[in-house]
Amino acid sequence: MITATSMMYIYTETPLHAGVGSGLSSVELPIQRERHTQYPMIQGSSIKGKLRALIAMQAGGKSDRRVEALFGHERETQETDRLYAGALIVGDARILLFPVRSLRGVFAYTTSLDVLERFRKDLTHIHQEQTFPQLPPERPTNGQALVTEDSEVITSEEKSGLLLEEFSFEVSKNQQVTSVAHWLAEHALPLDGYWAGKLRSSLVVLSDDDFRDFALYSTELITRIALNQSTKTVEEGALWTEEHLPADTLLYAPIYATNERRPSEPGQQPRHGLELLQEAQTLSQQAGPYLQLGGDETVGRGFVKVRWSPAVPLTSTTTGKP
């Protein structure tokens, strides 16, 4: 039973390739996407594996008692008393903000009411849904956009006052969008200073269809080759295209914990999930706010900055089971 929960916010600082193997389109190595929405995502197993490696390094080794309590024992033997699952549960990282090139302001942080409503639903697990601002009552239609009251990405107050990529949008300044931008800058963004101000002035809420199209077709495509070292020419068949989630994307992943599955000593009481989750946060933060996720580590891909929300207990009388 889940007894504690938190939220991990992930901000990409370099393009990130969380792949799914080979693709069927012109992109040989696409990124992970949700099946029904086609929104980019990062599978929880990728994040959990990186967290285990990071926390094990910080704790002093993969067989450390704290690591085994959080992530389970290494399956080095078939002894049944060693095969206990860890207490930490890592959900998939979902999209929250997607950067799109803008004629003014360099780029805008785009989202949609569908994405924000999904985020509000996930906030119920950490008891923050009541603090999240009210969303605009009317959805923007295709070709329309809602922006903050002090937006720096609109070109004019007239119709078609916003240009994203080669597309123009009719804009409306909206007080609720301003409140959402300020909440995200304060509670979710792992950066402060200039970047928090950038978010407050560059948030754009698009229609669900327009946002999906940008998230589907405005990712970064990189063509790579392998050279024959003797001839310095391209190896036969060694030309491929990779898809990357662009820098300045913000995602979030719900993190849960159960009570310890098995105490480390006979007769000892299992530790509560809240204590274990707080320990995971502490060990992760001691190693620094950065992780490297996905592939292409040796060419500098996948550097992300992480922010944790405070861990909170989850009881049957609050929100129920996630």
Residue 233 lies in a domain: no
Residues 212 and 267 in one domain: no
Residue 277 lies in a domain: yes
Q: Report pLDDT for 321.
A: 47
Residues facing 251 on adjacent strands: 10, 95
Q: Which of 169, 198, 218 is the last residue of a domain?
A: 218
pLDDT digits (tens, 9 = 90+) for 179-227: 999 999 999 999 999 999 999 999 999 999 999 999 999 999 988 877 7
The whole domain housing 256 covers: 1-18+44-91+247-322
120 vs 157: which has the higher pLDDT: 120
Sign of CA dihedral 24, 30, 34, 38: negative
Split at pLDDT 50, 70, 90, the class of 76 is low
Residue 212 lies in a domain: yes
Residues 71 and 163 in one domain: no
Residues 54 and 152 in one domain: no
The CATH number of the domain where 273 resides is what?
3.30.70
Residues 139 and 180 in one domain: yes
Residue 203 lies in a domain: yes
3-state percent breakdown (helix, strand, coil) of the chain, nearest 5: 30, 30, 40
* Residue 45 DSSP SS3: helix
Residues 167 and 187 in one domain: yes
Residues 119 and 175 in one domain: yes
pLDDT digits (tens, 9 = 90+) for 141-186: 999 999 999 999 998 766 668 999 999 999 999 999 999 999 999 9
Q: How many domains does the chain have?
A: 2
Q: Report pLDDT for 103.
A: 94
Q: What would the two tokens of residue 164 be?
A: 């994203």
Q: Which of 218, 233, 261 is the last residue of a domain?
A: 218
Q: What is the mean pLDDT of residues 65-82?
A: 72
Q: Which of 218, 233, 258 is the last residue of a domain?
A: 218
User: Read out DSSP for 181-245?
Assistant: HHHHHHHT-S--THHHHHHHHHEEEE-HHHHHHHHHHSSEEEEEEEEETTTTEEEEEEEEEEEEB
Residues 307 and 209 in one domain: no
Residue 105 lies in a domain: yes
